[in-house]
Each structure stands twice: as structure tokens, then as C-alpha cells.
Chains A and B, each alone.
Chain A
């Protein structure tokens, strides 16, 4: 809009310049937030300055602004990736290289990575000539920089320029990459190892065989295990590129060595990448090599490795060649799995529990009943709640194959125990699975065995549990219908309105908030509303203002006439309450439009999924 910048001639100012002037000045504001805002609007500034001034003034200034806070530099690195048109199109895109080059050498990894990402992006906008004249020299400078920060950044740039340069330059690029693979600092070797696969993909097959394989072998036997473990990842890409007949000689010796590495971290990496490796090397090698390797990983002496391998059991079995899948699983894998069920380490057991149910679809009904069912039952009795939870959360797989009845006898005690676990987060997790269980087990079983549990949670002493219990009721009603609600849960919920504990009385209100919508107008008007209205006379102010809030929430479900005749008089009365909070919420309810009710989905269960690694210490970020 304001492209025609520059003195218009007359002395009169151009007021459209003012906002841009502010943005430019704020590039140097003391407040980081303002600097950040300005950087995020860099394109506006560039547009106002025009392509020429952007190139000659703005970019030189930005090139030297690498003193700033990380978040500002990060934003800058990102912006510059989309700046091609603002400097005059592909013809001038190389002007963006100097600022990105200086950003690619800062110590903060996120900034450096973002700068490399932007460099990769704009490399595509260089003409082949510019790529050789401007971009490739930059890559060379970074690759031979004094500090390892610049050399690590270089590693990510080889693969984008390689395909588009002449064969002489290609040879140079290969040489640079080779040098970085044997750099003195492990940081650079790690960066090179992590880009090895990507680089291999753009190389001619002959060079993959001659150059990449030797680099791969060297990195995979690096003295530092932090480098070796990254070579495992490269192994996947390299194996995908090579013809099947070369795999045995070029890749397998290294892979075998990695699977038996002295360092548990390398073996962990192999276990973690096992499915990818399996796909990359194909069915024959899998049968002959990977099956025994996988068995070893499942029996590894380090629990972290066993846990990683246990996590892959289902995927590994699924991807086995179909012709003798069942036989391999039954004779080679299942015996290891059986041992893991009684592993000494609970992370291993719970990793296994999260996938083991998936085996039933692969093995079919008979095998499941004969071999897997005893394992499931043992795990349902495991001392570690996480193991039991993981089994329960995956019940649907078994249900499809053998039906849940087989398990229900063992299931019930397990559920009851979890429901009464001393740790509230365990109780919370099982509540989350209730709707799923109810669906699997059916309404009869539920009414008979589980309904009491669900009601008991409503009076749990932890608020988060009571809140989750309310939400659970709503989901159950969605599943079983309003009629079921009217007979089983509504009377009990409403009964709590007379509880001597005000917290329980409030739970009634919270339940009504959650249920009115799914129960429908009839139940809400006839059964719930009278209770709510009566509670407006409660002696505890917290209850009274929650009445006001509830009335606002259930309003949309009610008929206009009910609102007018029953709800409004009560709210009017509450609006003159002696307690100011009650007054406030009554006014809110009276003035507010009756908004459609939205229930926030609970996210608590995500807290249980915190990565388990060694003895984790999650630290307070105070």
C-alpha cells in the first residue's frame, strides 16, 4: 500500500510513513516484546522501504544485529526465509545470504536450525549460476569456519545445493562433507551423522557406494557413542537407497555391530528405529538377521533398551513376512514377550502392556486364548498401576478378536483396585477409560458392577477427580441415553443436593451443568431445575453463586416461559444477595445471553504420558 516512499517532494509529511517509522525505531526498543513485534512485521518495513533500500540498508543492518535475544533472532531467521520477493525476486535472493550466514553461527541451536531451514528454502530460489557463485561459497565458508557452530550449520546445506551444481563443484561438496565427518569436535561429527542419510539421497548411486558407505562405517564406529547412535538413523536411509544384493555386504555388518554395541544408548537407538530398519532391509534379511537381533534386544541387560524394544513388539510382528509370520512369532518372539511380562523394571512392563494387546489381531482367536490371554490376565494383576492401565486402555483390540467376556472376570477387580488407588492421577486415568469400558462391556455389566464406582468418584476428596467424574457421567449418558440417565444417575446426583457437605452440594450443580444438555429439556426442566432453584437458598455463598452460574448454563436447554417464570425471579433475588460474588454472578446470568454450553475436555491424562527415562527428575520451573 505505501510503496512510493521517499520524500514526495514537498515539505509536507506523509502520515502513512508514521507507523513504519515506529516499526523501524522499535527494532531497537529496549523492550524485547516490541523488538519481536517489529521483527515479525519486517516484511511491512521492507515493503515500505522498497527493494533497493531493503538490500542496501535494511539487510546490512540486520546482518550485524546478532546480539539480540534468542526469540528475536529466531523470528528474524524465519522472516528472512520468506524475503525473496522483498529484495527484488530470485535475481537478488543472494542478498539474503549474509544475515542468514551470521545467524547460522550463533550458539543457540534453535536459531541456527531456523537459519539453516531458511537457507535451504532460499537455495531453491537461486538460479544454478547464483547457486555456484553465491550459495556454494557460503556453504564452503561455513564448512571451514573456525567454530563448530558454523561447521554444524554447513552439514544441513550440502544436500540442497548438490543436485543443482556442476560436477566439479559436486566433487568439492563431497570432499567438504567427508572432512566434516571426521571433524575434531563431536558436535560436528554428530551434525554430519544426522545429515548423512539426507545427503546420501541426493548422491549418485555410485558415490553412495563408494563415499557414503565408508563415511557411514566410520561414523558407526566413532569413539563417541553420541556419534555412533546417530549413524543408526542414517542406516535406514542408506539401506533404502541400495539395491537388495548390496545390503548384505555394505550395510549389514555395521547394523549387526550397532545392535551389539557396548553402549546401551546405541542399542537403544537400534531398538527405537527397529520398524524402520525392518522395512528398509526387507523380508529376507529380517528373517535371518533381525529376528535374532530383536530377540537379543528384548533380553538386553539394560532396561531402557528392553523398554524400547518392547514398544516395537507389535509393529515388528505386524511387518513380518506373512508366509511364516505366525511361526516366527510363536517360536521366537512370544517366549521373550512372556519373560518381559514379569520383568523387574516397571517401565519395561508398561511399555509392553501398551502394545501387547495388538498381537491378538495378528495371532487370531485360538492363539490369543491359549497364549496371550494368560499374559493379559497376569498384567491385569501387575503391582504397577501403569501396566494395568495400559492393558485396560487397549481392550478394544482384544474385544474384536475374542470378545471381552473372556477377560471380564479379571477385569473387574483390576478396575476396582485402580478406581481406589491412593494416587489421584491413577484414579483420574481410569475414569478417563470408563466411557470406553462401558461401551465394551455393555450397559448391564456396567449397571451391575461399575455404576457405584462412578458415583463414588463424585465425592472423592480431590477436586480434579470430582470434576473428571462429572465429565464421565456426561459421556456415559451420551452412550447409554437419557432414559438410562433418568433411572440410574439423575436421582443419585440430585440426592446429593441435600448432603451436609457443601462441596458435595456443589458437585450436584456441576453435574447438572454437564448433564442438562445430554439429558434434554424434559429431564432438565422437570427434575433438575427445581433442585437448582431450591439450592438458591443455600446458606453457603459458594453454592449460591454456583446456582447463578448453573442457571446461566442450563438456560439454553429451557423454554422461554420457564426462564421467565421460574429462573428470572430466583436470579433477581440472588442479585440482591448480601454476598458480592453471588450478586456478581447473578447479574452476569441476568445480563448474559444464554450461551451454548461448552464443556472443556479434560487434558489430565496427558500428564501420565510424561516420558519415562532413567530416573526422571521433572524439575519445578520456578
Chain B
């Protein structure tokens, strides 16, 4: 199956858009993370207001057999609240930095959500029965005379409307001095790691009062600081392996079997810099904003400012594939530096079969790359094409010279509309794309 599809196999079409249409976007409504669960049945988003919204996939309806069924709101809850650290005089934002689902373990679903400092484990469960019948009051809630009780009643459970509850099960706090940028559940299903700018901690999912610090890159003298951790992830199958990426564009792979502390890495992935393209911005744009293992565990993908790279875990000296996301911005780096866009942290994701990858860009554009055919496509998440089943038209950005019809010039790109967070259904061709406060869901159109 080719994931990208522009032409003979299939086309991407619009399915749904969530969130308000207002031009006026409230800061709190901006989506800050998107994540499908393992089965793809649930889709979670987190926002800058500390809320988590979970959508559930509805079974296809008989009326509209052409669609795979829609995602509708299943549960909404406030995961994090703004806090103030009085000791350090620091405000702690409620913004959800990451959400990670746990492998399902019973009828309920569990996820981890984190802001800059505190990780929480949430349980999302259903209830469809209610107990009825009291001894001391009657059906209307009126109290009975306690001296006139002639028999005991045991409550009976009666069916009721389905109720979805989200309850916080554990709070993992006080372990991070810097801002948490990643959380990742280990394949042993009992531990997970959390990474901030300088340290990575390993937690047991059932223990909240201690965590183990496995990586610490904080120099004794903070003035010697040259590099920070930007992302970290556990290997999907090998419970002892994890990777973390750095602001210098390198990735370190650590093996927890080797020692209790993983300050020394087992593998170091780095592509030698091309001296001809060196510039003032080289270091900034080489910083890695996201790292993701493929589902197979053989590859990993990293996103830097201008490109996505796929690395074979067995080859450390260069990536096996490199895809340019928006090479046309290379000439614009100066202005992107001035408006801080150059520090945007774009994420990236794999499709279910690892054959295609997706990542975001500006002007509400997002890019997909087919790894087999090497074809790529630029699509746009916009209200204009949001008619049911509307096919997404490929977009093109003109790079100098004459602008052709249907092309958009680099200068007219809107840098305030950026797609940082995207997610791909683990099995199907369904994608979720966060564009500021809107969540777009697209799927393939079966011809």
C-alpha cells in the first residue's frame, strides 16, 4: 500500500473538522498535541488550555457507506491547571506538551499527559449501570422513618445512559527541573521515560514517589552548556533501547542493559555537515524537533527545520533517506529568525506500515512522502475544501521564476498558520492534522 497517493492508487479526501470557525482564536484553544491510541479507535488532542479531548471512531453508518465512519467527542476533561512555583517564582503553564496512550489492559483506556513539569496518568472508562433502591429514603429521596423499616433492601443495578468518566489515577510530579518535552511508554508495559532539556527519567507506571535518572547531560558549569535534549522515545519492541535527539542535530541510542545510568550511549547518529551550505543558521536549523521509531523498530525518523530524515538503526554515519520539507525557505531563514519561526518544533509521524511519513509546514500545508516511490505531496488543511468527501488538491509553492497557475509564491505564505502536530491512524489511511485551534481529519477515498 502506498501511503501518499497522488494519482492512480487513491486520493486523500476531507472527512471532518473540529473546533470553532472564528477568526479570533483563543490562545487556550490552540491544539498542542495529537495522538491516536494503539487500535486507532480513539484519538486524543491536548491544548494550551490544559484540556484533553478524546474522539471515538463511530462505526460506519448505513446511510453513508462510502465513509469509514467519523470521530466524535467521547470525553473531554481538564488534565492540567495553571500553577505557580513559589520557590522559584515561576509560572507553570497548563499547556499539554504530549499525550501517550498505554496499551489497553482492560475495558478502560489509559493515557499519560504532561505539561512542562507534571505527568498524569488518566483512566477513561464507561459506566452504563446505576444502583437503585435505598433503605432510608424512598424513590423521591424523601427520608423514611427509621423506626418503620420492616425489611432490608439490597440495591439493584439498572441500565442507564452511557457515561464516560475520566479520572486521574497517578500524578508523577517534582522530578523535572527543566521543561518536559517528551514522554514515551516502554514496551515492557510497566515503565515509561520522560525527558526534559537536560535529563531523562525512568518511571514505573505504578510508582509516583520515585523515578530513576538515566541520562543527565547537565554540565557542572552551566556556562559550558552547548546542547540540550529535544526529544526522546523508547524502542517499540526492545524494552532496553531508547533514543534521544539533541539541539545539535545528533541522536544517541542507549541500551539500558549496559548500566543503570545511560550517560554513555551505545550508538551515535550524526550526518557530517556539508561545508558548502554552512551559514549562520546551520546550527539552529539542524536542531532536531522530533524523533520517532518506525512501527517495525528497524528505522527511526528525525525532523529538523527543513527536512525529515530516516535512519537505519544499523547505520550511524548518515540517514538512509532524506526528504526536503520546504527547501524554498532556505533563502528566507533571516526573516524566519527575526519572527522566531525558525524555532518552531515540527513533529513527524509514520503511517501504519512504515511506508509513508507525514510532517507539517507553514500556511497550513502538510507534507507526505512515500518511501517506496519517493513521491511526495503537499496538502492543505483549510476550511475552503472542507466539504464532505472533497478531494484534497495537491498544492505547489513556486520557487523563483515565473509563478504558474495554482501555485503559491513563497512570499505569500502565511507563517502564522503552521502545522506542528499530526497523527496517522495505526492501521488505516486516516490522518489527524492540527491546524492552530482546528483538528482536521482526512481519509483515503476508495474509488
Q: Which residues from chain A sit less than 8 Å from chain B, CB to CB?
A: 5-8, 11-15, 17-18, 20-22, 24-25, 27-28, 48-49, 53, 57-58, 60-61, 64-65, 67, 105-107, 109, 147-150, 185-187, 190, 223-226, 261-265, 301-304, 613-622
Contact = CB atoms under 8 A, between A and B. Distances in A.
A575 to B, nearest CB: 43
B280 interface: no
12 contacts: A7-B151, A15-B146, A24-B153, A53-B154, A61-B131, A64-B129, A67-B127, A149-B105, A613-B212, A614-B261, A617-B211, A622-B174
Give the dominant DSSP class at B's interface. loop
A589 to B, nearest CB: 41
Contacts of A263: 240, 256-257
A449 B134 CA distance: 75
B148 A13 contact: yes
Contacts of A7: 150-151
Given A61-B131, A67-B127, A614-B214, A619 B174 contact: yes
Nearest to A110: B206
Contact of B173 (A149, A185, A622): A622
A65 B237 CA distance: 36
Given A7-B150, A186-B189, A24 B155 contact: yes
A221 to B, nearest CB: 14
Given A25-B135, A186-B189, 10 more contacts: A5-B152, A18-B146, A24-B154, A27-B155, A57-B154, A224-B187, A225-B257, A263-B257, A264-B258, A619-B210
Q: List 6 tightest A-B contacts by C-beta distance, closest first.
A: A263-B257, A21-B135, A57-B154, A619-B174, A13-B148, A614-B260
Given A21-B136, A224-B239, A302-B260, A619 B106 contact: no
Contacts of A265: 256-257
A265 B255 CA distance: 12
A21 B257 contact: no
Nearest to A303: B260
Given A25-B134, A614-B260, A226 B239 contact: yes
A15 B150 CA distance: 9
B75 to A, nearest CB: 15
A462 to B, nearest CB: 22
Interface string B245-283: 000000000001111110000000000000000000000
Contacts of A14: 149-150
B78 interface: no
A618 B210 contact: yes
Contacts of A25: 134-137
A104 to B, nearest CB: 10
B154 A616 contact: no
B135 A24 contact: yes
B220 interface: no
Nearest to B216: A615
A619 B173 contact: yes
A616 B108 CA distance: 32
Interface residues of B, number: 56
Contacts of A107: 105-106, 108, 110, 123
Contacts of A225: 239-240, 257
Nearest to B135: A21
B156 interface: yes
Contacts of A58: 154
A5 B151 contact: yes
B125 interface: yes
Contact of B152 (A11, A48, A613): A48
B239 A614 contact: no
Contacts of A619: 173-175, 208-211
A150 B107 CA distance: 11
Nearest to B104: A147
A185 B105 CA distance: 10
Contacts of A49: 152, 154
Nearest to A64: B157
A620 to B, nearest CB: 5
A66 to B, nearest CB: 10
Contacts of B239: 186, 224-226
Contacts of A614: 212-214, 260-261
Given A147-B106, A224-B187, A61 B154 contact: yes
A219 B234 CA distance: 22
B409 interface: no
A105 B105 CA distance: 9
Nearest to B145: A13
Contact of B259 (A150, A264, A617): A264
B210 A223 contact: no
Given A225-B240, A619-B173, A262 B150 contact: no
A28 B154 CA distance: 11
A279 B53 CA distance: 56
Given A61-B157, A264-B258, A621-B209, A6 B135 contact: no
Contacts of A57: 154, 156
A98 to B, nearest CB: 13
A130 B391 CA distance: 63
Contacts of B256: 263, 265
Max chain A C-beta neighbours (<10 A), residue from B134, B187, B240: B240
B307 interface: no
Nearest to B259: A302
A185 B239 CA distance: 12
A618 B213 CA distance: 11
B9 interface: no
Max chain B C-beta neighbours (<10 A), residue from A8, A53, A107: A107
B190 interface: yes
Contacts of A304: 259-260
Nearest to A18: B146
Nearest to A24: B135
Contact of A109 (B150, B155, B187, B206): B206
Interface in B182-205: 187-190, 201
Interface string B147-173: 111111111110000000000000001
B414 to A, nearest CB: 44
Contacts of A17: 149-152
Interface in B205-241: 206, 208-214, 216, 237-240
A240 B131 CA distance: 52
Interface in B89-138: 103-108, 110, 123, 125, 127, 129, 131, 134-137
A219 B333 CA distance: 55
B106 A223 contact: no
Contacts of B131: 28, 61, 65
Contact of A223 (B104, B214, B238): B238
A106 B123 CA distance: 12
B103 to A, nearest CB: 7
Contacts of B125: 67
B251 to A, nearest CB: 22
Contacts of A109: 206
A12 B145 CA distance: 11
Interface in B394-418: none
A190 B145 CA distance: 55
A309 to B, nearest CB: 14
A224 B189 CA distance: 11
Max chain B C-beta neighbours (<10 A), residue from A7, A24, A622: A24
B150 A61 contact: no
Max chain B C-beta neighbours (<10 A), residue from A22, A48, A617: A617
Contacts of A18: 146-147, 149
A240 B98 CA distance: 49
B49 to A, nearest CB: 24
A12 B157 CA distance: 29
A614 B191 CA distance: 15
Contacts of B189: 148, 185-187
Max chain B C-beta neighbours (<10 A), residue from A27, A614, A616, A622: A614
Contacts of A622: 173-174
Nearest to A70: B169
A65 B214 CA distance: 41
Max chain A C-beta neighbours (<10 A), residue from B105, B209, B239: B105
